[in-house]
Amino acid sequence: MSDTDVDLAALLCSRLCHDLLSPVGAMNNGLELLADETDPAMRERCIDLLGESAAAAANKLKFFRLAFGAAGGFGPTVDPSDAKAVATGLVEDARTKLVWDVPSSPLPKAAVKILLNLILIAREALVRGGILAVGAESRDGETEMVVRAEGPKLVLDEQVKKALAGELDPAQIDSRTAAAHMVRSLSTRGGGMVQLAGGRDEPLLMGALIKSA
């Protein structure tokens, strides 16, 4: 493993820890409140909040395990239903809907990681929620993926945009841009590419293509 790979792994771990701080912190606060609370209604509310925070933490762990880690087994492909399950847990809430249009046939592991990281980036761009549509197709030794985000307010960080385009200095890559850098690296490793269009006043479109080894 090269120093670059080690650095990227460290940044992805930092990103995971950052995203888990909120739900885990909420659970800690909820337990402290529950220990001191005597009112039955308030105790029930605390338990509900603990359940919500625990579910949020579990959903993020499942997502990051497949998006960043070695989940999915040691084979070269992953069942798309696994990716759909973790994406749904991360994306869907009262304001955001996931539309999944991916065939049931297994996808290359790299394609699944790219797709999930694009979903993560798109979800963050949907500041006020909206619709996040996902598609993928494999044919003739290539796999294409596309993620479309549409909502009342779309904000894609400029550094993330540069990382996707391969225009970010490696020294500037941090936990915020690590997912985009991972997408770029996995996509272009075998001669593939990443495309980006729209945003702000129009739907955000992010696409990637990888070629089979």
Tell me if 87 sits within 8 A of 116, measured CB to CB.
yes
Asked if the 3-211 domain carries CATH number 3.30.565.10, the reply is: yes
pLDDT at 51: 92
User: How many CA atoms within 13 Å lie on the side-chain side of 181?
Assistant: 21
- Please name which of 76, 84, 201 lies closest in space to residue 150, comparing C-alpha atoms: 201
DSSP 71-135: TT-SSSEE-HHHHHHHHHHHH-SSSEEEEEE--SS-EEHHHHHHHHHHHHHHHHHBTT-EEEEEE
Could you state, in order of their start, the residue ranges of all structural domains in the chain? Answer: 3-211
d(C-alpha 194, C-alpha 199), whole Å: 16
Residues near 127 by beta carbon (within 8 Å), at least 6 away in sequence: 151, 153, 154, 155
- The tens place of each residue's pLDDT in the chain, 213 residues long, gives 455 777 888 898 889 888 889 999 989 888 888 888 888 888 898 899 899 999 999 999 999 999 998 765 567 889 999 999 999 999 999 999 999 999 999 999 999 999 999 999 999 999 999 999 999 999 888 999 999 999 999 999 999 999 999 999 988 999 999 999 999 999 998 889 999 998 778 899 999 999 875
> What whole-number distance in Å separates Cα of residue 142 and Cα of residue 85?
24
Q: Tell me what pLDDT residue 100 has.
A: 97
Query: Whose CA is closest to 151, among 110, 203, 104?
Result: 203
- Check if the beta carbon of residue 144 is closer than 8 Å to that of residue 207: yes
The helix (run of H) or strand (run of E) holding residue 6 is helix 3-36
The helix or strand, by DSSP H or E, that contains position 137, with its residue range, turns out to be strand 130-139
Provide the whole-model pTM: 0.91
